[in-house]
């Protein structure tokens, strides 16, 4: 991974960290929608490298573990990002030739659902969930999937436009 890609990935993760830090936990089990995921997905799209994806997943897991409001959510956050990052990269490579807008929407929504399911599942295995799995999934994971999908689609579109304009002027 070259320096430009590392720096850009770090900037995405920094933005995700700040968003994850300032968004409060919801009353439903102190879980919060995870805007960090949207930034992690964008970093993975930009880096487009499996080794870089693993590094992004590890960094994202550690950073979200530091800002979680979920009781004992540190371990589930690390597990969830380490599973979700390679899954998103795999989806990205499988859908490489698909329409870019559709690809972004599919990956962001499926990636968030994978992340939420792994997070809740690992939290349920290691600790006790503060509410039923289904309630947390419907009340937090699905709304997060919608918000992350919109965020990723908008930012990816802006990045695409910026890349096109940069190529034209170069």
Distance from C-alpha of 65 to C-alpha of 16, rounded to nearest angstrom: 13
DSSP for 61-78, please give it.
HHHHHHH--STT-HHHHH
Cα 98 to chain centroid, rounded: 20
**Contact (CB, 8 A) for 43 and 152:** no
Distance from C-alpha of 46 to C-alpha of 66, rounded to nearest angstrom: 24
Domains and CATH numbers, the chain: 3-169 (1.10.1760.20)
Supply 108's token pair: 């962001």
Alpha-helix runs per DSSP H in the chain:
3-22, 35-47, 50-67, 74-94, 100-126, 133-136, 142-169
Average pLDDT, the chain: 85
Distance from C-alpha of 4 to C-alpha of 151, rounded to nearest angstrom: 23
**130 DSSP 8-state letter:** S
Average pLDDT over residues 78-93: 95
pLDDT digits (tens, 9 = 90+) for 41-85: 999 988 888 999 999 999 999 988 888 877 788 999 999 999 999
pLDDT digits (tens, 9 = 90+) for 9-38: 888 889 888 887 777 766 655 566 678 899
pLDDT digits (tens, 9 = 90+) for 103-159: 999 999 999 999 999 999 999 999 888 888 998 899 888 988 998 899 889 988 888
């Amino acid at each position: 991974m070259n320096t430009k890609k590392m720096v850009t990935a770090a900037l995405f993760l920094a933005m995700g960290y700040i968003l994850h830090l300032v968004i409060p936990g919801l009353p439903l089990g102190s879980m919060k929608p995870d805007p960090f995921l949207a930034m992690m997905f964008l970093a993975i799209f930009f880096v487009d490298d499996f080794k870089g994806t693993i590094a992004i997943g590890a960094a994202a897991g550690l950073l979200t573990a530091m800002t979680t409001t979920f009781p004992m959510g540190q371990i589930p956050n690390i597990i969830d990002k380490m599973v979700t990052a390679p899954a998103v990269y795999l989806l990205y490579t499988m859908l490489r030739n698909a329409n870019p807008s559709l690809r972004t929407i599919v990956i962001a929504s499926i990636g968030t659902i994978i992340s939420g399911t792994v997070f809740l599942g690992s939290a349920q295995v290691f600790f006790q969930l503060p509410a039923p799995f289904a309630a947390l999934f419907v009340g937090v994971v699905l709304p997060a999937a919608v918000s992350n999908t919109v965020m990723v689609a908008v930012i990816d579109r802006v990045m695409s436009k910026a890349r096109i304009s940069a190529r034209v002027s170069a």
